[in-house]
């Protein structure tokens, strides 16, 4: 009986290690996918803003540029949008305050935050109009990641416990058959 307990304990440790490895790999894969998605979103936002602002800046309408940036900023995953003039002076900036963290801190430590900003030089032919910079807070990435991982955690845990129970049953069955 002591031998069965030892085998069951070893199986439980193996299952926990497999579960932890699966959880980490799932998280790493998810972090890569979400990072790519967020970077593409930032790139799209930057390109759209640059194209729209080009004519506005050529006309010297800074108020309209601010209105366009505000419209693009609201409802997006961007943390900040900054517009710089030809001399590198800040013309306009819109930024959200640090958001409330809705995920555990260890998630950010386990999957370090990627670069979440992009800069684009706005031009009109050969004339440089200025620079546009957008950034997204990693909070949005980790919030989405945490949501997916918590949704899947219980399913993985249930599968792990079921597999462990079946393994223990098989060990007990094999031990009874051996006698």
Q: What is the pLDDT along the chain (179 residues), one digit of tens a residue?
A: 667 778 778 887 888 898 888 888 988 998 899 888 888 888 888 888 888 888 777 777 778 878 887 787 776 778 888 888 888 899 888 888 777 778 888 888 888 877 888 888 888 888 888 898 988 888 888 888 898 888 888 888 888 888 888 887 887 887 787 76
The sheet with strand 117-124 has its strands ordered as 90-95, 80-84, 127-135, 117-124
Instruction: Phi first, then psi: give them for residue 76, nearest 5 degrees.
Output: -105, 180
Is the pTM of the predicted complex or chain greater than 0.75? no
Helix (H, G, I), strand (E, B) or coil at 109: helix
Q: Alpha helix locations (H) across the chain?
A: 2-58, 62-73, 105-110, 138-178
User: Which domains occur in the chain, in start order?
Assistant: 2-178 (3.30.450.20)
């Amino acid at each position: 009986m002591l031998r069965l307990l030892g085998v069951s304990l070893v199986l439980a440790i193996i299952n926990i290690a497999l579960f932890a490895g699966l959880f980490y790999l799932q998280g790493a894969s998810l972090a890569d996918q979400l990072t790519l998605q967020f970077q593409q979103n930032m790139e799209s936002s930057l390109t759209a803003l640059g194209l729209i602002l080009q004519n506005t800046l050529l006309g010297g309408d800074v108020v309209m540029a601010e209105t366009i940036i505000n419209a693009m900023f609201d409802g997006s995953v961007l943390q900040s949008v900054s517009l710089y003039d030809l001399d590198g002076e800040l013309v306009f900036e819109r930024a959200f305050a640090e958001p409330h963290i809705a995920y555990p801190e260890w998630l950010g430590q386990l999957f370090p935050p990627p670069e979440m900003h992009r800069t684009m030089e706005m031009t009109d032919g050969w004339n440089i109009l200025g620079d546009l910079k957008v950034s997204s807070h990693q909070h949005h990435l980790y919030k989405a990641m945490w949501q997916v991982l918590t949704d899947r955690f219980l399913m993985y845990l249930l599968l792990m416990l079921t597999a462990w129970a079946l393994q223990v049953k098989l060990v007990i069955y094999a031990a009874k058959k051996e006698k």
